[in-house]
Structure 1
């Protein structure tokens, strides 16, 4: 059952990337400054409620963090506010999705 969900998530991420998705890193600013995926926007999960207005509701969002917990919280908040979003999990998983 888990494998089916994992494959579905992979398909959604691929589709969103093809649609020009916004990449959202919800780690702290210091984590982001240490390393991040090029083209990502940094909005720490602690301030997502105040900063989500800076995101484009017309474009899907792929959200990631270090391990997947914070991105899960952020994805839930974004979905509740009408954004089209998928949680990629941790930055390592996100990097795998970007490989050809």
Structure 2
């Protein structure tokens, strides 16, 4: 079962998130406003998944590295797919925000 989730939400090796951030990357946290207020990665932007399609204008550069995150990785995978389908070319699922925090700290 774990392998199915790995195949659905990750493709190949995990990117170097720290390197993406050094190259003008941004973190988009797609949790609800309340979840985000209870804790988040400093500097991340909160665009809840349910309003992401209506807020794509906030993400002007379709080639900019974008890392999506949420609580567990499910919503961030959906967000990654939404962005990819809208022409964003450098989008990565960071998974759960706490895990991502430890990867970039």
Q: Displacement, 1:33?
A: 0.8
The Cα RMSD (Å) is 2.0
Query: Are the aligned partners of 1:10 and 1:97 in contact in 2 as well (CA < 8 Å)?
Result: no
TM-score, normalization by structure 1: 0.85
Once residues 9 and 15 of structure 1 are traced to their aligned partners in structure 2, the CA distance between those partners, rounded to angstroms, is 12
Is there any run of 5+ residues in structure 2 with no aligned partner, and where?
Answer: none
- Uncovered stretches (5+) of structure 1, i.e. residues with no partner: none
Q: 1:44 aligns with which of 45, 48, 59?
A: 48
Structure 1 ranges of 4+ moved more than 3 A: none
For residues 44-68 of structure 1, what are the alpha-carbon distances to aligned partners after superposition, in whole Å with 9 as ceiling and x for unaligned? 0011110111113242101100000
Residue of structure 1 equivalent to 2:78:
73
**Map of 2:32 onto structure 1:** 28
Corresponding position of 1:87: 93
Partners in 1 of 2:86 and 2:99 — Cα distance? 25
Which residue of structure 2 lines up, in the alignment, with residue 55 of structure 1? 59
More helix, by proportion: 1
Matched residue SS, 1:10: coil
Give the TM-score of the pair, scaled to structure 2: 0.81
The alignment covers a number of residue pairs equal to 96
